């Protein structure tokens, strides 16, 4: 990729297409899935309407120029791609605008004069998990004054932390399943006490329990625990991804998902989908490796369909979300919808449910990407 200085005087600049920086990869456990998602987004962006600048973040946190090569960003076998596989240039890195008065992105290499890559009009972050989907990147972009796709700082943070997500939903009257939180200092200081709490929780709600990182996604680090003998191993697995742990009671029911997309007149919900899990639960392999097909639209009554769509929009509004959200529910045997979680940057892989639900709702993949970019361009940064 050329790093020549693209700046021109305002008088000599022709009318140009909006420039979209697709930022992907990142330091979280979901690095590889982020790269896969970015490949799908890069392939879908209308190059007649937009210029594109792919920027990858390595697992170590370096921002790199990468190849604009969606075909190299797919899952091969059971291996997800890495930003390092796509890096272009030498030892340099990409620097986003540090002045709200400028949208210029710079490429900086040790011992060399920084080179301008031109202005960026909007950032499309397809980062999953901590250090990207959790409000950190969104805060940096707010400071820089650069528009971006998706939710702002608060909603992104709430959407990443499952404990506070449930607290927000409960305060807005949405039903959530039983859960407890294991904080790092609790486990470090009193393991027997934590085991006792979990045993009491299981006595109230039954086994199995699901032990998961409080701030991770893509079903990474989740373990189904059938009895007390598996608890310590499950906690250790979750702590590989997050020192804060969530323990959830199993909610018996069907898994229903619904997409929310922000239109000019406000958020709207897609037709819902049902997930017939191929494993004991809808885990990482089911979502991304084994290509478990979802049922779109979900076989629900018209009343149930209307209810879950309304609840999805309520969840979107409760967390002050913007742009897009996938809301995940359980439909219990009693006919109640229990919200499990929202994802403020749901998967955009070719097999992801969010684009499938919107395609069934009449919004094709390319139009979906375009609507998200246009919504970000319309939206001001800062307080709103």
Phi, psi of 329, deg, nearest 5: -130, 160
Strands in 26-158 per DSSP E = 51-57, 63-65, 93-95, 104-108, 115-119, 122-125
Confirm whether residue 287 is marked as ligand binding. no
pLDDT: which is higher, 30 or 167:
167
pLDDT tens-place string over residues 280-317:
455 555 555 555 578 999 999 999 999 999 999 999 99
Confirm whether residue 303 is marked as ligand binding. no
Of the listed 28, 30, 104, 144, which one is catalytic? 30
Going along the chain from its start, the domains and CATH numbers come out as 19-148 (3.40.50.20), 159-176+252-378 (3.30.470.20), 179-249 (3.30.1490.20)
Of the listed 144, 218, 286, 361, which one is catalytic? 218
Confirm whether residue 5 is marked as ligand binding. no
Question: Omega into 264 within 30° of 0, i.e. cis?
Answer: no
Catalytic-residue membership of 218: yes
Confirm whether residue 219 is marked as ligand binding. yes
- The answer to whether residue 218 scores a pLDDT higher than 70 is no
pLDDT tier at 158, thresholds 50, 70, 90:
very high
Predicted pLDDT at 119: 92
| Cβ atoms of 307 and 146 closer than 8 Å | no
Catalytic-residue membership of 9: no
Catalytic-residue membership of 352: yes
- The answer to whether residue 8 scores a pLDDT higher than 70 is no
pLDDT tier at 350, thresholds 50, 70, 90:
low
Confirm whether residue 250 is marked as ligand binding. yes
**Hey, is 3 helix, strand or coil?**
coil
Of the listed 28, 144, 270, 352, which one is catalytic? 352
pLDDT tens-place string over residues 48-95:
999 999 999 999 999 999 999 999 998 888 788 999 989 887 778 888
Predicted pLDDT at 284: 54
Predicted pLDDT at 96: 82
Q: How far is CA 11 from each of CA 8, 14, 15, 303, rounded to the nearest angstrom? A: 8, 8, 11, 58
Confirm whether residue 98 is marked as ligand binding. no
């Amino acid at each position: 990729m050329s790093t020549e200085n693209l700046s021109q005087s305002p008088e000599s600049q022709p009318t140009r297409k909006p420039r979209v920086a697709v930022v992907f990869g990142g330091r979280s456990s979901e690095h590889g899935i982020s790269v896969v998602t970015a490949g799908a987004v890069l392939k879908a962006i209308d190059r007649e309407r937009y210029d594109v600048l792919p920027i990858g973040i390595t697992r170590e946190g370096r921002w790199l120029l990468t190849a604009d090569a969606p075909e190299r960003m797919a899952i091969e076998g059971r291996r997800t791609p890495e930003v390092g596989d796509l890096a272009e240039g030498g030892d340099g890195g990409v620097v986003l605008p540090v002045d709200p008065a400028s949208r210029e992105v710079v490429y900086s290499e040790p011992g060399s004069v920084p080179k301008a890559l031109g202005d960026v009009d909007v950032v499309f972050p397809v980062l999953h998990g901590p250090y990207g989907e959790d409000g950190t990147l969104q805060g940096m972009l707010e400071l820089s004054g650069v528009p971006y796709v998706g939710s702002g700082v608060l909603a992104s943070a709430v959407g990443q932390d499952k404990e506070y997500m449930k607290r927000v939903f409960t305060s807005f009257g949405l039903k959530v399943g039983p859960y407890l939180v294991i904080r790092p200092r609790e486990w470090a200081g009193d393991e027997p006490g934590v085991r006792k709490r979990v045993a009491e929780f299981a006595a109230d709600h039954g086994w199995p329990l699901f032990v998961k990182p409080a701030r991770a996604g893509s079903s990474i680090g989740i373990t189904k625990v059938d009895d007390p003998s598996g608890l310590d191993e499950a906690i250790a697995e979750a702590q590989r991804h997050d020192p804060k742990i969530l323990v959830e009671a199993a909610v018996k029911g069907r898994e229903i998902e619904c997409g929310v997309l922000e239109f000019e007149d406000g958020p709207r919900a897609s037709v819902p989908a049902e997930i017939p899990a191929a494993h004991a639960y809808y885990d990482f392999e089911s979502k991304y490796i084994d290509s478990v097909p979802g049922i779109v639209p979900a076989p629900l009554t018209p009343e149930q369909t209307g209810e879950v769509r309304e609840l999805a929009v309520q969840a979107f509004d409760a967390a002050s979300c913007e742009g897009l959200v996938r809301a995940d529910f359980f439909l219990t045997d009693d006919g109640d919808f229990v919200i499990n979680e929202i994802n403020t940057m749901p998967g955009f892989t070719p097999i992801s449910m969010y684009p499938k639900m919107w395609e069934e709702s009449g919004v094709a993949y390319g139009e979906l990407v375009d609507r998200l970019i246009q919504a970000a361009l319309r939206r001001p940064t800062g307080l709103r």
